[in-house]
Amino acid sequence: MPSEFEIIRRYFDRPVRSATLGVGDDAALVSPRAGMEVAVSTDLLVEGRHFRAGADPRKLGHKALAVNLSDMAAMGATPRWATLALSLPDADATWIAAFAEGLFALADRFGTELIGGDTVRGPRSACICILGEVPRGQALRRDGACAGDDVWASGDLGGAALALARPDIAEAGQRLDQPEPRIALGERLLGRASAAIDVSDGFAQDLGHILERSGCGAHVQYERLPKFAAFARIGEPELERACVLAGGDDYELVFTAPPRERPALEALARELSVPLARVGEIRAGKSSLTVVDAHGREMTVPRGFDHFSR
């Protein structure tokens, strides 16, 4: 079995392109470009909580980075650098090689460099810290939504949660294991969206964070929410509602924008081939979300994911 330092050298030490100093020293060195500020975010994936024991290491490498890239997308930031803290029960070279392969395949697609980390023996987990750049003062924050803004959602919702309920639906499993971070969309929403978040804990809960931070409410039409395609075929409306409104792990962007942006956003959706659905509007008043059905009747909104409340 390889030693800690062989693991690092063999699987994680790659020449850096834009960092001043990468893997191998006590700290890495990076400089943002002129006029940019640094966006920093961390996400931790733990075995038994975020992934099953025995999960495919290649997919796990992808997902560990994808969830972090998604946070950059939600800020409108361009991902640049990442560190990886890896805890492993053993130094299984095949496992580590596959994990690194999944991680670097995605990192290379988005020009993100691995510049450091930590490797320890312990329960299996992967924690990535990502750094991105965003033009100073322009990041898409959660607190910018205003009454009258439209609420938009990218792609489709509920697929990842469907995979947990119905492991037999292969395309849902793909959605859960291989989320596609909406980096290009996030970057292009700068100057157009007033607030944004990525859907990690469920549409209703994540939109709720925008409402709370922005001090406003929202009115959403369930019919307009973009739903993972398989729901149309399986015909289980209750499961669909639970997955679409409260399912986590979709990593789509939910954002708000003033109505004058509609033509530009519709054009952007075509240009990027990313569906954008206008699902409701922001309203003045208390930070509450109302979701109505096709007949305008208020629906009960199931709760989203919370690590400590169930």
Instruction: Name the residues that contact ligand ADP, by CB under 6 A.
Output: 8, 12, 23-26, 84, 86, 114, 116-119
Min CB(23)–Mg ion separation in Å:
11
Residue 23 interacts, among Mg ion, ligand ADP, none and using kind-specific CB cut-offs from 5 to 8 Å, with: ligand ADP
Q: Where are the beta strands (DSSP E) in the chain?
A: 36-46, 78-88, 113-121, 125-135, 150-154, 195-198, 217-221, 253-257, 276-283, 289-292
- The strand order across the sheet containing 78-88 reads 36-46, 125-135, 78-88, 113-121
Q: Which is nearer to ligand ADP, 23 or 69 (CB)?
A: 23
Smallest distance from ligand ADP to CB 83, Å: 7
Pick 116 or 202: Cβ nearer Mg ion: 116
Is residue 4 near Mg ion by the rule CB under 5 A?
no
Least Cβ distance, residue 8 to Mg ion (angstroms):
9
Which of 284, 290, 287, 265 is CA-nearest to residue 275? 265
Residue closer to Mg ion (CB basis): 87 or 288: 87
| Smallest distance, ligand ADP to C-beta of residue 251, A | 23
CB of 27: closest distance to Mg ion in angstroms? Answer: 11
256 binds, among ligand ADP, Mg ion, none (CB under 5 to 8 A by kind): none
Give the tokens for residue 119. Answer: 């490797």
Burial (CB count within 10 angstroms: exposed 0-12, middle 13-18, buried 19+), residue 52: exposed
| Smallest distance, ligand ADP to C-beta of residue 52, A | 22
Query: What is the C-alpha to C-alpha distance for residues 217 and 221, in angstroms, rounded to an integer?
Result: 14
Q: Give the C-alpha separation, 231 to 240, whole Å.
A: 6
Does residue 118 interact with Mg ion by CB under 5 A? Answer: yes
> Rounded to an integer, what is the distance from CA 194 to the centroid of its chain?
18
Helix and strand numbers, DSSP H then E, in the chain: 10, 10
**Is residue 108 near Mg ion by the rule CB under 5 A?**
no
At 131, list the tokens. Answer: 């750094």
Nearer to ligand ADP, 16 or 282 (CB): 16
Residue 57 binds which of ligand ADP, Mg ion, none (CB < 5-8 A, kind-dependent): none
Residue 78 vs 119, nearer CB to Mg ion: 119
114 binds, among Mg ion, ligand ADP, none (CB under 5 to 8 A by kind): ligand ADP
Ramachandran angles phi, psi of 279, nearest 5°: -110, -10
Q: Which residues bind Mg ion (CB under 5 A)?
A: 118
